[in-house]
Amino acid sequence: MSAKDRFHEAVKRGLEKDQWMITDDPLELEWEEVKVKIDLAAERLIAAERGEEKIAVEIKSFIGTSAISDFHTALGQFLNYRIMLEAKESNRKLYLAIPLETYETFFQSQFAQTVKEKYQLKLIVYEPLTEEIVQWIH
């Protein structure tokens, strides 16, 4: 079993506070010999005429010694998981969950902004101490 990110439970509780129902913890997908585990899957009813919105969330803490190394890992996982979801659960949107402090520092750099736009990263910004979702970035 893979290790959960340090802030896994904080993000999970933040999503639940925002009325998301956690459906998988983790979301396991398999495509031929490739198996992945995305941290969380959730869904919530938006409106009767729109049906259900489903998401998958890869949670990152960015507490390593190098933000750029953490970013490389997170981006690689995000891109691979997005391909897997497109093939196996195309109705589910993938988000990368990052701490507020990381969003306010590293993700404000021109480099991170350019990568976010180029690869169309969807972000969930969370506050680990209050266990709240601060911002959704589509």
Residue 137 counted as domain residue: yes
pTM: 0.91
Residue 136 counted as domain residue: yes
pLDDT at 6: 82
Query: CATH number for the domain including 80?
Result: 3.40.1350.10
User: How far apart (Å, rounded) are the C-alpha atoms in residues 13 and 72?
Assistant: 26
Domains of the chain: total: 1
Residue 106 counted as domain residue: no
Write phi, then psi, for 137 (nearest 5 degrees). -120, 110
For residue 123, the enclosing domain spans 15-32+41-48+71-94+119-138
Lay out the sheet containing 132-137: strands in order across.
21-24, 40-47, 51-59, 92-99, 123-127, 132-137
13 pLDDT higher than 90: yes
User: How far apart (Å, rounded) are the C-alpha atoms in residues 16 and 92?
Assistant: 17
Residue 60 counted as domain residue: no
With beta carbons less than 8 A apart as the criterion, state whether 7 and 61 touch: yes
79 pLDDT higher than 90: yes
